[in-house]
């Protein structure tokens, strides 16, 4: 699912480039919500809506890695969910 969103974002960027500086800046500020913590929220990138999705079942993130990171980013602990 995430790969589709990355490809869509890349496609939109290639279409628009940096023609309009204000739109580019606004789009990249909105793009920060893509990596922000919290509940998934839709955002606009060059005027096009990018939808974020939630996991629908436990099976979807069974092979994931949960990362606990310190506030400074210097330390992190990783847990592979498939092992637990």
| pTM of the model as a whole | 0.50
The secondary structure of the chain in percent helix, strand, coil, rounded to multiples of 5, reads 40, 20, 40
pLDDT exceeds cutoff 70 at 1 = no
Q: Can you tell me which residue has the tokens 């800046």? A: 25
SS3 category, 76: strand
Token code pair at residue 35: 């990596």
Q: How far apart are the C-alpha atoms of 36 and 8, rounded to whole Å?
A: 19
Q: Mind listing the pLDDT tens digit for each residue in 13-71?
A: 888 877 788 888 888 888 877 766 555 677 788 888 877 766 666 666 677 788 888 88
């Amino acid at each position: 699912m995430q790969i589709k969103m990355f490809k869509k974002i890349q496609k939109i960027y290639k279409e628009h480039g940096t023609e309009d500086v204000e739109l580019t800046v606004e789009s990249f500020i909105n793009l920060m919500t893509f990596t922000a913590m919290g509940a998934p929220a839709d955002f606009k990138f060059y005027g096009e809506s990018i939808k974020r999705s939630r996991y629908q079942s436990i099976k979807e993130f069974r092979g994931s890695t949960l990362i606990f990171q310190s506030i400074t980013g210097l330390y992190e602990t990783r847990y592979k969910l498939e092992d637990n």
